[in-house]
Amino acid sequence: MVVAASVLVVILIAIGLTLPTSAPAHQLWAAAASTVAQAQADPQVAAIQAVIQQANQEQAAALAGNDPWQMSDTATAAYYRQLVQINQALIAQGATSIDLIHLRWGPINVTGSSATATTSEVWTTTFSDGTTAESSDTNVYTLVQQNGTWLIQADQQTAPASAHATPGVVTPPGPQTPVPAVSVGQNTSHNWAGYATTSGTYTGVTGTWTVPVPGINGAPGVGATWVGIGGVSSHDLIQAGTQDVAAGGGQAEFQTWIEMLPQASQQVPVAVVPGDSVTVSINEQGAGSGTWQISITNNTSGQTYQTTVQYASSESSAEWIMEAPTGANGVLPLDNFSSVSFTAASATQNGQMVDISQTGALPITMLNANNQPLAVPSAIGSNGSSFSVARTTAPASTGTAGGPGRRPGGASAPVGQGG
């Protein structure tokens, strides 16, 4: 189940599940023939097979019709939420349909009101640009019986050694943005892309974005999406956001975090996966108090985090940023996230709540070590509060000089700040 093992492997890692190691094919499928006979003799086994088959059909129909609710009758509440997120991630990649083209049964074991079932599945995914992708996976389902009905509780996947697809590979739909010509020194940075404003005093900032899908079929990379206050023309910066890591080997990780320079960033307990809508707000609790409330909400799952910190901020700038974070040896390579869209971007400027266009924010283009644009912001939308950042086809580079933590740096920092 769950087309594109690539996506599910990413999500399983993101929520802390462990993928099972692959059993040799002769061990895994030796019981396949006996499973057929078992299903004929055991009504429970037949019922489990029927639920899995129905669930596969419902997931395909849910994605095609953008109607996730029809997946709820074969899944526990927690697993249903995972399925919704998985389909959202597929749609975010440009998937328009998914189809199960082959299913082979492996062992099915029933113990009281719980069960496991193994399948071999081949799925195809069709994207909006007309391309298709195929994935072959071994699925190990966990089921529970509730009120006499079998429901799927979990599904762990691993790709067989003979599979053509690589576990965890996610191919962004369509081509990436071509590399535009940008004059170095005019609102460019080697680790920031997005918008920043410095024309006032800032005591609040907020923004909403969709967690992007990192392109993990290439080199490892990392991207951080965040809002913050300070850091453009000062050494202070209070910020919070999400991070997506293409870890190599077809795997990815996702986190939410907060950071108050010069302290290191802290991971916070809000789980996110590609396609989730996340809202982050940072607000001072009383002008000049130095008491800041940081809020992170996963609008898709409903999970929230809120904390209050003491921090001495210059309140000199506000930012809405996609970043290549800085490591021990400089700026880390930016992942191939395709694009990320910001909405509801606003700030409290000089005591007034204003949208990003009213702040006078300027665009920032991220450059690689060869001064080629890596990530380019769009113009601000007509609503005054939205924009997107597109990853270009330029190669990422490592070791570019950068400021401490997540500060801007490089040959030319945003809005005139030196590296």
Q: Is residue 16 part of a domain?
A: yes
Q: Is residue 323 part of a domain?
A: yes
What is the predicted pLDDT for the residue at 413?
35
Residue 346 has pLDDT above 70, yes or no: yes
- 3-class SS of residue 251: strand
Instruction: Tell me how long the chain is.
Output: 419
What is the predicted pLDDT for the residue at 345?
97
Please name which of 249, 303, 298, 305 lies closest in space to residue 275, comparing C-alpha atoms.
Answer: 298
Q: What angle do CA 276, 240, 335 make, to 5 degrees?
A: 60
Q: Is residue 253 part of a domain?
A: yes
pLDDT level of residue 218 (50, 70, 90 thresholds): low
**H helix or E strand, kind and range, residue 323:** strand 318-323
Q: Is residue 42 part of a domain?
A: yes
286 and 354, same structural domain? yes
329 and 269, same structural domain? yes
208 and 344, same structural domain? yes
211 and 116, same structural domain? no
pLDDT > 90: what percent of the chain?
43
275 and 138, same structural domain? no
Cβ(150)–Cβ(369) below 8 Å: no
Q: Is residue 179 part of a domain?
A: no
Residue 305 has pLDDT above 90, yes or no: yes
Residue 18 has pLDDT above 80, yes or no: no
Q: What are phi and psi of 213, to 5 degrees?
A: -95, 115
358-387 pLDDT, tens digit per residue, is: 999 999 999 988 888 999 999 999 999 999
User: pTM score > 0.85 for this model?
Assistant: no
70-123 pLDDT, tens digit per residue, is: 899 999 988 888 888 788 777 877 788 998 888 888 899 999 999 999 988 888
328 and 408, same structural domain? yes
218 and 86, same structural domain? no
Q: What is the mean pLDDT of residues 351-362?
A: 95
What is the predicted pLDDT for the residue at 95?
81
Q: What is the CATH number of the domain that holds 135?
A: 3.10.450.50
What is the predicted pLDDT for the residue at 158?
57
210 and 145, same structural domain? no
Q: Which residues form the domain of 21?
A: 5-158
135 and 26, same structural domain? yes
Residue 280 has pLDDT above 90, yes or no: yes
pLDDT level of residue 12 (50, 70, 90 thresholds): very low
Q: Which segment, 30-39, 110-119, 292-301, is predicted with the most confidence on average?
A: 292-301
Q: How is residue 241 written in tokens?
A: 């956001």
What is the predicted pLDDT for the residue at 125?
84
Please name which of 203, 225, 229 lies closest in space to residue 343, comparing C-alpha atoms.
Answer: 225
Q: Provide the number of structural domains found in the chain.
A: 2
Q: How is residue 387 written in tokens?
A: 């924009």
Q: What is the mean pLDDT of residues 197-216?
A: 90
Q: Is residue 167 part of a domain?
A: no
Q: What is the CATH number of the domain that holds 290?
A: 2.60.120.700
Q: What is the mean pLDDT of residues 379-402?
A: 82
Please name which of 173, 178, 112, 166 lies closest in space to residue 136, comparing C-alpha atoms.
Answer: 166
Please give the residue that has the higher pLDDT: either 330 or 4.
Answer: 330
Cβ(411)–Cβ(182) below 8 Å: no
pLDDT level of residue 311 (50, 70, 90 thresholds): very high
85-95 pLDDT, tens digit per residue, is: 788 777 877 78
235 and 119, same structural domain? no
Paired with 411 in beta bridges are: none
Q: Is residue 291 part of a domain?
A: yes
148 and 192, same structural domain? no
What is the predicted pLDDT for the residue at 398?
55
Q: What is the mean pLDDT of residues 263-290?
A: 92
pLDDT level of residue 248 (50, 70, 90 thresholds): low
Please give the residue that has the higher pLDDT: either 217 or 15.
Answer: 217
Q: What is the mean pLDDT of residues 170-197?
A: 59
Cβ(134)–Cβ(122) below 8 Å: yes
Q: Is residue 387 part of a domain?
A: yes
What is the predicted pLDDT for the residue at 138?
82
The backbone region for 405, taken as left when phi is positive above 0, alpha when psi lies in -120 to 50, beta otherwise, is left
What is the predicted pLDDT for the residue at 364?
92
Q: What is the mean pLDDT of the chain?
A: 78
146 and 205, same structural domain? no
Q: What is the mean pLDDT of residues 233-262?
A: 86
Interhelix angle for 32-41 vs 43-65, to 10°? 100
Please name which of 318, 314, 313, 304 lies closest in space to residue 269, comparing C-alpha atoms.
Answer: 304
Last residue of one domain, picked from the residues 113, 142, 158:
158
Range of lowest pLDDT (26-40, 57-71, 221-235): 26-40
